[in-house]
Structure 1
Amino acid sequence: MTSQQKLLRGAWAYTAAVAAELLAQDFPVDGVTVVNTVSEGDGASEAEAFVSLPAPWWTRAYPGYESPSLDWDAASGWTLRADQDTGTTAYWMGEGLTPEPAKVAMFLTAARVNGQVGSTDRPYYRRPKQDDPAPLTDRLLAYEDVLRRSDPLIKSSTSGWQRPLRHVFSTLLSTEHARMIDGHLTGWPEVRTVPLRAGEIQALTQLLEASDTADGNDLAADLRARYDAAAQEPADRTIPAQHSTALTRATLRKAKRQPGQ
């Protein structure tokens, strides 16, 4: 394996560890990407990484930002980028190239609370494509241990390194997203009246069914049953309780995850 391949492998492991921390703090991460930038022009580092979160979530959580993204660079570390009328502004976190994942989560949380964080002055912790990447690579690869602890099947190898890391991250995504969904379903028991057109209910249930997930199918079935029941008894406030398969199953899953059970 070349030094560049090792650097990319390490960047993936570190970024996945950061994504895992974000997921644990209820950030709805839906992907991680590592890009080989060694052949790009002056100023580019050898590798970049991107933590993907859904665009609608960004809009709700960070109304002051346009098309934001959370990026990592092998020369300058983490940045929160946002489009503005004058172009793209980068808010650099600082804290070096491999801050603890919890610190990256704090950086993203602070941006949500305070509006702006970090500095627009880009730091350089190493000279791109000039300094030996080995010390950085070693620090990045140390995060493979974090992934191994979450999945005992992962093994080091000299080829096909993306497959095990993708597998681990896929497991983290599915596990943490299930936990978040169960939290949403069980966390707000009050019944609210939400005006929806009949066609909107049909479109929503179809989208849920198209997700081809157990939760999506359960929610779709509950909504269809409530829609039909409300057509007969519009004022019946017990309808949600009568058709709550998704909530019931989420409650059972949540109970199983509780310590000591």
Structure 2
Amino acid sequence: MVYKENRAQRMRDDLEAAIGHYMVAVAGRLLDEGLPVSSISSYGAYDDPTQDAFGADVEGSVEFTHAFRRKAFGAGRDAGLLWCGVSGWCFFCMPEGAGRTLMESARWMGGGLTPDPGRVAAFLSEVQLDAEFSGSDERPFYRAPHGDPRSLLQRLAVFDADSGSAESSYDSRFECLRIDACQRRVVRALTAEKQEVVEVALRSGELQALLGFLEYVEGAAPQDDAREMARRLCSDLSLRARDGRESLDEHREALTFAEEQR
């Protein structure tokens, strides 16, 4: 009995990792296209009876920043991409307090259980153009809940093998991809042509809060380049706040570093 439970737990853990790597592959494609992915999730308990109410078992998700959701789909909405181990990908968009379940709001992508990340990215592009009518409200079914988890695991394995980093956890892979994407956005912003000098009204406390976040990034970012960029940008803003507008072209360490990264 103990052996059987240990084997079941290993399968749950293996499925969680495999689903996580699939979420990383999709999130990486979306990040490459400039979309602000904020987090991913993975759930590998294929034998969880509480999922029966939804006709599901394992699942994963790709979620986006609040600012992106508000701009793309409207304020007061929870929206994102869900992968269901029975029915594949769907987009969900639920107004807060509407009393609708995720499954009731889902627009299903179709195209198989584990489509290529590029196809998922294309589906999200369609959703951004017309969230109400993209995909289908008819849910497809590609496998039975709780059935044959080993075959599903084998099907998902390709998304880990293709990464070239099978020994890394999916969480650490995602964090590296996200900080790389953020670094690219920062470099593009700092080195953009024809930039204007903008006047932004900030309270002293708001400026200190912003500098505090940059200091956090300097200490927490996994890559040296991101830490160095945060350090230089924090220094530039602090010195400009002290020396005034005329010091704009004097305190520009972040811009110099960004130009070196191009």
Q: 1:203 to 1:8 in 2, by over 3 A?
A: closer
Question: What's 2:129 paired with?
Answer: 113
TM-score computed with the length of structure 2 as normaliser: 0.78
Matched, 1:207 2:213: yes
SS at match of 1:30: strand
Q: Quick one: percent identity of the two aligned structures?
A: 27
Give 1:141 shift.
Answer: 0.6
Matched, 1:100 2:111: no
SS at match of 1:87: coil
Alignment of 1:19-30 (within 5 A): 19-30=27-38
Instruction: Write the distance in 2 (CA, Å) between the matches of 1:115 and 1:92.
Output: 11
Aligned residues: 236
Q: Is the 8 A contact 1:191 1:240 kept in 2?
A: no
Residue segments in structure 1 that go unaligned for 5+ positions in a row: 156-162, 255-261
Q: Which of 145, 155, 172 matches 1:128?
A: 145
Q: Is the 8 A contact 2:69 2:75 kept in 1?
A: no
Q: Is the 8 A contact 1:16 1:169 kept in 2?
A: yes
SS at match of 1:147: coil
Alignment of 1:1-261 (within 5 A): 2-37=10-45, 38-39=47-48, 40-42=50-52, 43-63=54-74, 66-84=77-95, 85=98, 87-88=100-101, 89-116=105-132, 117-129=134-146, 131-148=147-164, 151=165, 154-155=166-167, 164-187=169-192, 189-199=194-204, 200-212=206-218, 213-230=227-244, 236=246, 239-254=247-262
Q: 1:105 to 1:122 in 2, by over 3 A?
A: same
Instruction: Write the distance in 2 (CA, Å) between the matches of 1:242 and 1:109.
Output: 42
Give 1:103 shift.
Answer: 1.0
Residue segments in structure 2 that go unaligned for 5+ positions in a row: 1-6, 219-226
Give 1:3 shift.
Answer: 4.2
Q: Is the 8 A contact 2:16 2:42 kept in 1?
A: yes
Instruction: Write the distance in 2 (CA, Å) between the matches of 1:252 and 1:139.
Output: 42
| Structure with greater helix percent | 2
Q: 1:144 to 1:68 in 2, by over 3 A?
A: same
SS at match of 1:187: coil
Across the aligned residues of Structure 1 and Structure 2, the Cα RMSD in angstroms comes to 2.5
